[in-house]
Amino acid sequence: MVRLITHNLLACHAKGCTSNNFPLQFQDVSIELRDADFNADFLRGFLPRLEWPALVGAARQLGDTSLPAEQPDMIDDEFLQKLHHVLLEIHVEEGAMVCPNCKHVYPISNGIPNMLLAEHEIG
C-alpha cells in the first residue's frame, strides 16, 4: 500500500536528480479506502515532518479535498480526524508515481511501488 504518509516522504533517488524531485506525481491511480486505528499522539508528533502543500496537492489528486490549503494553527480533534483519514486510510493500489524533475516513472502494482532504478540511473 502506498499511503500519503509515505508518499509525503518519498523523493526521486535517480542519479543526479537532487532538486525539484519532490513530490512524486500520481498518474492513472486507483485507490482503496481502509479503516486504520486513530492515534492522536502519533499524528501530533508527525505533523512537523509533513510538507503541507505537497500533502494537500496529493490528496486532491486522489480526490480528497478535506484538508485546508494552509496548515491550521489550532490542532483540534476534528482536524486530526481529517488528517488521519488522508494520511493513513487512502491506499493507492495501482498506477504510477512520476518524478517532476527527471520524469522517472515508479510503477505501483498491487499496492507496491517499484523503486528499482536502471543501471544508468544509479548514483
Partner 1 sequence: MSRPELVAPPEIYYGDVEAKKYTNNSRIQQIQADMTYRALELLNLPPDEPAFLLDIGCGSGLSGEILDEEGHLWAGLDIAPSMLEVALEREVEGDLFLQDIGQGIGFRPGSFDGAISIRRFDNTLRRSISVLQWLLNAETSHPTSSPPHRLTRFFTTLHAALKNPSRAVLQFYPTSDDQIQLITSIAQKAGFGGGIVVDYPNSKKARKVFLCLFVGGGGGAQQV
Enumerate binding residues for Zn ion (CB under 5 A).
12, 14, 17, 21, 99, 101-102, 104
- The torsion defined by the Cα of 29, 8, 113 and 119, in degrees rounded to 10, comes to 120
- Selected binder of partner 1 within 70, 74, 76, 116 (CB under 8 A): 116
Q: Which three cell numbers stand for residue 71?
A: 496548515
Q: Are 114 and 2 in contact (CB under 8 A)?
A: no
Q: Which three cell numbers stand for residue 114?
A: 517499484
In the complex, the smallest distance separating the C-beta of residue 74 from partner 1, rounded to whole angstroms, is 22
28-47 residues in contact with partner 1 (CB under 8 A) are 36, 39, 41-42, 45-46
* 29 vs 36, beta carbon nearer partner 1: 36
87-106 residues in contact with partner 1 (CB under 8 A) are 88
Among Zn ion, partner 1, none, the one that 101 touches (CB under a kind-dependent 5 to 8 A) is Zn ion
**Of 27, 8, 2, 15, the residue nearest 98 (C-alpha):** 27
Tell me: cis bond preceding 100? Omega within 30 of 0 counts: no
In the chain, the N- to C-terminal Cα span, in Å, equals 27
- Selected binder of partner 1 within 19, 35, 49, 63 (CB under 8 A): 49
Give the interface with partner 1 as residue ranges (CB under 8 A).
1-3, 5-6, 9-13, 21-22, 36, 39, 41-42, 45-46, 49, 51, 88, 110-117, 119, 122-123
